Amino acid sequence: MAKHIGLIYAGGTIGMRKTGQGYAPMTEFGSMLAASLHDESGAIPRYTLHEYAMPIDSTNATPADWQRIGRDIAGRYEDYDGFVVLHGTDTMAYTAAALSFMLQGLRKPVILTGSQIPLGEVRSDALQNIVTALQLAACGTLSEVALYFNQRLLRGNRTTKISAQRFQAFDSPNYPSLAEAGIGIRINQAALLPAANRENFELPEYAGGRILSFRATPGMPLQAVQALLDLQPQALILECYGAGNLPDNDPALLDMLTRANDAGIVLLACSQALHGEVALGAYATGSGLARAGVVGCGDMTFEAIYTKLHHLFALGLAADAVKLAMRRDIAGELSGGADL
């Protein structure tokens, strides 16, 4: 029996056209897509399009939008053999990571894609991205959330945007591609998540998360860190140097972080470097963070850390439980774990 794919148009450049005020959603996207995907050879899987009445500009996307897409997929889960989500590129990696935490235990693929140039424009990359994403969603091999763009299928929660200009807009710095599409499609079986015995979807309310971040810079004023902590976030992500280093020549910073940890704020360390992982014990500057209660995030992307925190807090977990969960791989987002 032919596979049937649920195609969700959530928004993004792929469905826009030029106006006097810049790119804006086109009203005829569905008919243009149908004409572009017209195929009598059977090479393109059967699909049903679900268009959002108000497409999401991914720059404006919020955790509530991740939740909406996740619940739409869960609500239609039994109707289709796989899903393709058309989404804007700016925050596609955030949505892909969030969906991986909501849709745990998938036994069919959910693939996000989009384009750098709108469908219908000269030199658009939209059509090939859509066609290949549909084919991958129907291949019967995948059972996870992934992101397809410019000939590469990447694990959704391992992906980050690296270019606003190139067709190769995304990369997976610390995990291999799940598939590559050239003349043929080559699946990297060793990199795939194994199919689960059953679905374990978690779809809590994403309305109230307070997750902040601070990027370390040379000579950074400590008042900036304190100003963020004064906002009483649930968690603060420290974007550190290298393997998880912050300046340790002023003990006031570590005192500040220790007090925040004691007050129940979850403190996380990630690296500004794309490749590699956080190891807080590798340097003395990182060891001080560990003593202050900061948790290293291994080789997770910033997008995975941010969305995972939203998910864990939405589940109602207390700070100590969140810290433990951040050190544990739950959806393929983290290598190793437990000993970070």
**Residues with a known catalytic role:** 13
| Whole-angstrom distance, CA of residue 261 vs CA of residue 264 | 5
Helix (H, G, I), strand (E, B) or coil at 96: helix
DSSP 1-39: ---EEEEEE--SGGGEEEETTEEEE-TTHHHHHHHHT--
| Whole-angstrom distance, CA of residue 113 vs CA of residue 102 | 18
Q: Tell me the two tokens of residue 208.
A: 């109230």
Q: Which residues contact 241 (CB under 8 A, 6 or more apart)?
A: 216, 271, 272, 273
For helices 63-75 and 302-314, the axis angle rounded to 10 degrees is 70
DSSP 299-323: T--HHHHHHHHHHHHHTT--HHHHH
Chain CA centroid to CA 94, Å: 3
H helices of the chain, where?
29-36, 63-75, 92-102, 126-137, 222-230, 251-262, 284-291, 302-314, 319-326
| Whole-angstrom distance, CA of residue 140 vs CA of residue 96 | 20
